[in-house]
Amino acid sequence: MDARKLRDIFGQFASGVTVITCRNADGEPHGATVTAFTSVSLEPALCQVTLTRKSKACQYLGDEPFAVNILGEAQVDTAMHFAGRPQVPGPVWADGPTAPLLGGSAATISCTPWAQYDGGDHVIFIGEIVDITTTDQQPLLFYRSKFHRLGMLDAASAWAGCLDDPHNGWFDASTSFTPLHRLPGQSARATVSL
């Protein structure tokens, strides 16, 4: 399979942007921008991150705790910083329950190591979630090798042209119906008058 074609097809899948944080061999905070993150299980609470074998973060994770920092739409500089393009000023760090956290993230997930698997030129790390924090920030997205914003969600568009629309259709949520009963001797044929 041609690597460029494969990268392009993977790029068709819009994903969130995370920075996986941990401590390096000297105990200093370290991070890597990663889009390969997903939930795995609710019971136990598990998530997955996939890192290229060439990354320093991949070497540091091993059996070590880590955090998933889900970036907000205003954190493009943070994503670039941990993708190998250092930004000034640098990131704001905070102590987390398992690993260092990034200030300003839309959400954070603190993990302890659960399992590790061979993923070809990547390593798949499964973490057990021990703590979470969330904000009201919109997420930063990555699609076709570019950063994007979520944009406004038009909830009505899902109902466009549908007469079952709970807001604009025939009946709303407060509508009640009375069953029809035939009177003795009345035919089953219904008549409609307009």
CATH topology of domain 3-99+106-149: Pnp Oxidase; Chain A (2.30.110)
Every domain of the chain and the residues it spans: 3-99+106-149
**Are the CB atoms for 61 and 113 separated by under 8 Å?**
yes
Sheet of 66-70, strand order: 29-34, 18-23, 66-70, 107-119, 122-134, 46-52, 37-41
Q: What is the pLDDT of residues 119-135, one digit of tens each?
A: 998 999 999 999 999 99
Q: Residue 174's pLDDT is what? A: 67
Q: Residue 70's pLDDT is what? A: 96
Is the backbone peptide bond immediately before 113 cis, with ω within 30 degrees of 0?
no
Residue, of 5 and 92, whose pLDDT is higher: 92
Q: What is the pLDDT of residues 144-169, one digit of tens each?
A: 878 888 876 565 555 565 555 555 55
| pTM, entire model | 0.74
* Residue 93: pLDDT over 70: yes
Q: What is the pLDDT of residues 14-68, one digit of tens each?
A: 789 999 999 998 999 999 999 899 999 999 999 999 999 988 888 898 889 999 9
